[in-house]
Amino acid sequence: TPPFRGGDVPAASTAARGTAVSTVGFDPDEHMLVEATAIEIPTSLAAPIAPSASSAPQPPQSPGGAPSLPWLGEMAQVYLEPCQSNKIWPQQQQQQQQQQQQQAQQQQQQQQQQQQQQQQQQQQQQQQQQQQQQQQQQQQQQQQQQQQQQQQQQQQEQQQQQQQQRQLLLMQPQRVPSAGSTLAPQTSAFATLRE
């Protein structure tokens, strides 16, 4: 007959039907010490068990779902909950696993956030570098414009100087040979310029 948990059988009925003897033993399945209570029930109190399972009446059930004491025979073992703090029940294992999973997820989220922050910082640095490059390009363009303006000014000055030289040549008097002179007539500056 399988054992059942303590509390399934009322204490009054237990005392009336038999003598309870508490023992402590090692449970190989749970790997721990377990306190057990053995209740000795006289044979006169135990109801007879039907020989055939099909024709036998169903045993009365206790509130916990286990058969009542008369159907257990002369000896019934009631296992009590162990009072040990190091016992890990399945629910506690699930809770611990959930907590570990949550911690792992939080660590992953933190790592992702740190990676995102690093990426943002890199993007900001790239933007700053691009801005600096743009500023340098603008400065170069300004310098080129200044050089072009200087070249234009120099060209204008050269043109002005050439015009002044032409005007000076035009203003010089023409040399006319005197009578009886053997020198060949000199052409004027205007004629030379026209040629």
Q: pLDDT category, 175, cuts 50, 70, 90?
A: low
Average pLDDT (104-132) is: 95
Domain boundaries, given as residue ranges, for the chain: 4-47+60-87
- Nearest Cα to Cα of residue 86 among 31, 48, 8, 29: 31
**Which whole number is the average pLDDT over 120-127?**
95
Produce one character per residue of 39-64: b if its CB has 16 or more CB atoms within 10 Å, e if not.
Answer: bebeeeebeeeeeeeeeeeeeeebee
pLDDT, tens digit, 9 for 90 and up, residues 18-56: 566 667 777 777 777 777 666 666 555 555 544 444 444
Q: How many CB atoms lie within 10 A of CB 8?
A: 15
Question: What is the pLDDT, as a whole number, of residue 71?
Answer: 45
pLDDT higher than threshold 80 for residue 94: yes
The whole-number average pLDDT for the span 90-100 is: 83
Poorest-pLDDT segment among 41-45, 51-55, 136-140, 179-183: 51-55
Average pLDDT value for the chain = 70
Give the highest mean pLDDT range of 8-12, 49-53, 76-80, 121-125: 121-125
pTM above 0.85, yes or no: no
**Residue 171: pLDDT band by 50, 70, 90 thresholds?**
confident
pLDDT of residue 73: 44
Check residue 2 and give its pLDDT: 47
